[in-house]
Amino acid sequence: MASQTVSTPAPTAGTTSVDRRPSGGTLILAAAVPLVFLHARYQPTLSIGLRSTSIDVTLADAAIASAVVAAAVRLAREGPGSLRASAWPLAAAGTFLAIIVLQSFAPIARGDDYALAAHLVSAAKFGWYALLAPATIVLVASRRDGVLLLRALVAWSLVASSWGALQFAGLVSEFEGKRPGQREPSFLGIHDFAALSGAALAVGLVGLTLRRAPLGGPWSAAALAGGSLGLVLSGAMSGVIGLWLAGAAILAVSLRGRSLRLRDAAAVAGVVLAVTAGTAAMRATALERFAEFIGLRDRAAQSTAVQSYAHRTLLGYIGVRIFLDHPIVGVGWQASSDDFAYTPYLSSAHRRFPDVPAEAFPSPEHRWGVQNAYLQTLADLGLVGFAALAAAFATALVKGLRRSRATPLALVGVAWLLVAAGVWGGLGLVPGIPLAALTWMAFGLACVLE
């Protein structure tokens, strides 16, 4: 009608999605960051009984639900074009999740003593966090949407690193009280702290190399400072591996786009080397004990404490043995932590690792698991599951690297995915943790259409 006015001008030839303000859905996704990157012990939890197990619902689950609803609303309004453009990565991820569910029934079919209900709840939780991938694809529809999400993550990383620094100084408690002067978990957990910090640091590295970096100078500097401090405080060498992978990808994309200057490359290398040295210094004692364990240096006085890297080597050995005996489909989702799966290999493990303390071996009291996502996938899901996992990662990475020519947000997604890939090397496939949230957010960001 003639009396009506239009508050926004019609698009012109020069108008792009960059000119859009962040939508309400993107605000919801950004607001979810502090909750999905927070350890469950700091969140109120609602436990719902389900036969022999229970379903625990946290604020992080509510935040994911809000993001998923916001994405559904946008899909209903704008159509599924953004998801259709990412069909292959999403299909690969969906295949991996479907295999997890199917393999939850395999132990029952074999007659193994497998807690089906508990493992199905675990699989559902893992899949629930995976919904962050399509939600991110849908909700990050413009450059400003992406900037809002990155700022939320960088800001939360600064808070986490500051809290970790207070723990390191002995001014505040961590999970086991005040333990100053050692690696710290902040309010996430060691590996999740490393994942959040590595993701923030990756944002800063992108800012060093790309002229069209999604965040400006002050935010990039904050990302570099908070991410570097957090990764060193976490002491997670798996996070350093992820940082090296992310740094290499950032430099490669910048070099391919001919935007890389020598001083920028030197700055990236300097940051990565400094963080590597700081993290190694944080883990100096553990690295020394591992060098003794593998015979690279003379053994010091016998210790009865469980040494981190020796422990992981032992658990990795058991995981490999499980895989070799069940190479195609594995023993079932998370069954490598169950008695029926690891018990046949305990005798040989004791013979192979005679100096490792008894409590380091898996038992009903210590369900350690394999503590390496890739070995766990082989043991639990076999080559079939591992191929599906590799396909999901590979298709998202390829999509992100191709999209990085058009948008730096995709490069950030690639870097986040590589950081997560490194950290998963030091942790099993635990559902419902911040690392899982980063993985699926990275998956979605690598596929954005902005």
Per-residue model confidence (pLDDT) at position 69: 97
- Assigned domain for 353 exists: no
**Which amino acid, one-letter code, is at 384?**
V
Question: What digits encode the pLDDT tens for the residues 123-137?
Answer: 999 999 999 999 999
Question: What digits encode the pLDDT tens for the residues 403-425?
Answer: 988 889 999 999 999 999 999 99
- Assigned domain for 297 exists: no
Q: Position of tokens 């002067």?
A: 181
- Assigned domain for 169 exists: yes
Q: Which two tokens mark 405?
A: 């020519």
- Assigned domain for 210 exists: yes
Q: Which two tokens mark 60?
A: 């992080």
Domain count, the chain: 1
Listing DSSP states for 222-236 in one string gives HHHHHHHHHHHHHT-
Domain with 104, as residue range(s), is: 23-286+371-446
Tell if the pTM clears 0.75, that is, is over it: yes
Minimal CA–CA distance to 141: which of 18, 238, 247? 18
| 3-state secondary structure at position 48 | strand
Question: What digits encode the pLDDT tens for the residues 370-400?
Answer: 999 999 999 999 999 999 999 999 999 999 9
Question: Residue 255 above 90 pLDDT?
Answer: no
- Assigned domain for 319 exists: no
- Assigned domain for 2 exists: no
Report d(CA 132, CA 70) in Å as an integer.
Answer: 11
Question: What digits encode the pLDDT tens for the residues 29-76?
Answer: 999 999 999 999 999 988 888 777 778 899 999 999 999 999 999 999
- Assigned domain for 77 exists: yes
- Assigned domain for 293 exists: no
Of the listed ranges 131-135, 279-283, 326-330, the least confidently predicted one is: 279-283
